[in-house]
Amino acid sequence: MADVRTELRFILNDDDVVLTSFPATRTLLDYLRLDRRMTGSKEGCAEGDCGACTVLVGRLNGDELVYEAVNACICFVGSLDGAHVVTVEHLSAANSPLHPVQQAMVDNHGSQCGFCTPGIVMSLYGLWMRDADPSVGAIEKSLQGNLCRCTGYTPIIKAGRAISAYGAVEADPLVLHREAMKQRIKALRDGQRVDIGTGKDRIIVPASADDLAEIYDQNPTGTLVSGATDVGLWVTKFMRDIGPMIFIGEVPQLHRSEETAVGLTLGAGVTYTDAAGPIGRLFPQLTELWDRIGGAQVRNMGTIGANIANGSPIGDMPPPLIALGATITLRKGGARRVVKLEDYFIAYGKQDRQPGEFVESVFIPALPAGEHLACYKISKRKDEDISSLCGAFRLKLEAGAVADITIAYGGMAATPKRAKAVEMALIGKPWSVATVEAALPAYAEDYQPLTDMRASAEYRLLAAQNLLRRFFLETTGESERLVREVA
C-alpha cells in the first residue's frame, strides 16, 4: 500500500492551501466564493456550459508547467492536489493598473453587464500565454465555452487580438515566475496517496494506477472521478451525494499516450486536449469532431476513458472508435482483460464492467492504408453541444466494390451501436449511388431511435441515412466537386 497523507495541498494564486477536512463534493467555485469570499469567478449555469466560472489550473506535465482553462463550477476541490489554481483576482490587485487582458477588454468595449467577463478574461489569458498573437480562429476556439448574452463577440475578439499591445507576455507574473512555481509544485508532489475523511465525505487520491486498482477493489461503491465534466453535474444539478469519491484525474499511468505503427494507446485519464495531437497525426479525419467536443474548458478537463466508461448513448467517442475497431483494457485489482469497445455497451446504463473494475486504457488500431474514415456530429448548436446523433464510417474498397465497411452511430439507440444490417446491405456491392440508396431501408432494421429534446425519431433516422449519402459523396470526391461548383 502507498504511503498515505491526510491533507490536500495546492496553491491558490500565491497562497499555499492545506485542507484536512472538507465536503467530498465541494466544488472549486463554491470553495472560492463561499469559503474564501473570492467572488471574481461567477456562477452562471453551474453545469460547465457558460464559462463564467473559468479559472486556470496549472499542472506539471513532465518538466513543463501547463496552465489550462477549466470550469470551476464542476471542478471538485478534491481533484486539485499538487495544482496551481489561478483566479481572476490574480490578474491585478484592487486599485492597481489593470492586466493587459483586462485593459484590452475595457478599451475594446468587450463587456456590458460584465457577468461573463471574468470567465472570458481568464480564457483569453490562458490563450495569450500560449500564443501572444492569436488569430481570430484561435480566439473563437478558446471562447467556444464562454457564453456572452449581451456584448456580442466582435468586441471581445478585438480585445483578444489586442492584448499584446498592452504588455509583453514575458513580463506576466505567471511566465516570469514559472520556474519558482514549478519548484513549489514539485515540493507538493510527494507520490503519496491522499485519504481524507470518512463515509460519504471520504476523498481518496490514488498515488498510482496500482494504488487505484487496490483502492477501487476494496471500495467498489466509491465514485471514480476523472475530469468531472459528467460527475460534476450529478452534484450541481441533481444534488447527489456521491461520496466516497476517488479522484483519478492525476494518476500518472493513466495519462500515458503511445503511438506505434499498429495504433494509438491512450490511458483512460488522457483528456481531449492532450489527445488532440496524436489523434490529429494518426486520424486527421477526426479533428473536426475533436474541435466540437464541448468547449475548451470541457476538452481540458474531460477524458476519453470516462466518455467510454460512462456508457452514454450520445457520447462522441464510441462511434468513431467502434468504427476503427478499438479495444479497451479493464482492470480489477491485479487482473486485466481486453474487451472490444462495441461489446462493452450491453444496454442502456449497463456496461460490461464489474464492481471495482475500471477502464485503464483504450487502444485504437491504425487505419490501414487506402481505407476511408469519416465521423459526423449532428447537434443543434455547432459549439458546446451534445450530439443529437453522431455517425462514423470506415470503408475498404477493392476494385470499386465494398470489401468491408463498419458503421457506428451514437444517439440512435440505447447504446452506441453498429449498423450491421446496413453494413450487410453494402458489403460486396459496387460503391455506387444505387448501392447506397438500396441500403437505406436497412437503417430501420438497425435503429428505432427515440424522440427527445435533441431530435425527433424521424429526424434522427433521416439524418443518419443522409450521413451515409454524404460519406459516399465525400469518398467519391463528388462532395468536393459540388462545393467547388457552388463556390
Ligand X SMILES: Cc1cc2nc3c(=O)[nH]c(=O)nc-3n(C[C@H](O)[C@H](O)[C@H](O)COP(=O)(O)OP(=O)(O)OC[C@H]3O[C@@H](n4cnc5c(N)ncnc54)[C@H](O)[C@@H]3O)c2cc1C
- Residues forming a β-bridge with 27: 76
**Distance of alpha carbon 360 from its chain centroid, rounded?**
17
Select from ligand FES, ligand X, none the partner in contact with residue 196, using the beta carbon and a kind-dependent cut-off of 5 to 8 Å.
none
Among the listed residues 108, 303, 406, 465, the single contact to ligand X using CB under 6 A: 303
Nearer to ligand X, 79 or 103 (CB): 79
Residues 37, 12 contacting (CB under 8 angstroms) = no
Select from ligand X, ligand FES, none the partner in contact with residue 446, using the beta carbon and a kind-dependent cut-off of 5 to 8 Å.
none
Residues 156, 105 contacting (CB under 8 angstroms) = yes
**Distance of alpha carbon 59 from its chain centroid, rounded?**
17
Check binding of 231 to ligand FES (CB under 6 A).
Answer: no
What are the cell numbers at 332?
480489477
Mutual orientation of helices 100-107 and 153-162 as an angle, nearest 10°?
Answer: 140
Distance CA 93, CA 56 (A): 17
Select from ligand FES, ligand X, none the partner in contact with residue 225, using the beta carbon and a kind-dependent cut-off of 5 to 8 Å.
ligand X
Among the listed residues 24, 46, 139, 323, the single contact to ligand FES using CB under 6 A: 46
Check binding of 233 to ligand FES (CB under 6 A).
Answer: no
Check binding of 153 to ligand FES (CB under 6 A).
Answer: no
Nearest distance in Å: CB 70, ligand X: 10
Contact range with ligand X by CB under 6 A, out of 54-62, 119-127, 304-312, 335-343 = 304-312
Residues 426/430/433/437 CA torsion (nearest 10 deg): -30
Residues from 398 through 437 that contact ligand FES (CB under 6 A)? none
Type of residue found at 55:
V
Nearest distance in Å: CB 301, ligand X: 5
Of 49, 15, 54, nearest in space to 35 by CA: 15
Among the listed residues 8, 11, 148, 375, the single contact to ligand FES using CB under 6 A: 148
Backbone angles phi, psi at 268, to 5 degrees: -65, -20
What are the cell numbers at 294?
464541448
Residues from 209 through 268 that contact ligand X (CB under 6 A)? 223-231, 268
Contact range with ligand X by CB under 6 A, out of 21-29, 89-97, 310-318, 420-428 = 310-318
Among the listed residues 28, 30, 38, 44, the single contact to ligand FES using CB under 6 A: 44
Residues from 380 through 419 that contact ligand X (CB under 6 A)? 384, 386
Q: How many residues bind ligand FES (CB under 6 A)?
A: 23
DSSP assigned state of 31 = I
Residues 419, 447 contacting (CB under 8 angstroms) = yes
Backbone angles phi, psi at 285, to 5 degrees: -65, -15
Backbone angles phi, psi at 251, to 5 degrees: -70, 115
Among the listed residues 40, 160, 305, 416, the single contact to ligand X using CB under 6 A: 305
Among the listed residues 5, 13, 36, 45, the single contact to ligand FES using CB under 6 A: 45
Check binding of 149 to ligand FES (CB under 6 A).
Answer: yes
Nearer to ligand X, 160 or 227 (CB): 227
Distance CA 453, CA 388 (A): 9
Among the listed residues 8, 31, 71, 227, the single contact to ligand FES using CB under 6 A: 71
Nearer to ligand X, 306 or 436 (CB): 306
What are the cell numbers at 30?
463554491
Nearest distance in Å: CB 142, ligand FES: 15
Check binding of 53 to ligand X (CB under 6 A).
Answer: no
Type of residue found at 228:
A
Check binding of 79 to ligand X (CB under 6 A).
Answer: no
Helix (H/G/I), strand (E/B), else coil: 484: helix
Check binding of 309 to ligand X (CB under 6 A).
Answer: yes
Q: Where on the phi/psi map is residue 420: left (φ > 0), alpha (ψ -120 to 50), or beta?
A: alpha
Distance CA 179, CA 267 (A): 28
Residues 225, 249 contacting (CB under 8 angstroms) = yes
Binding site for ligand FES (CB under 6 A): 43-46, 48-53, 71, 73, 111-117, 148-151
Binding site for ligand X (CB under 6 A): 47-49, 223-231, 268, 293-294, 298, 301-303, 305-307, 309-310, 315-316, 358-359, 384, 386
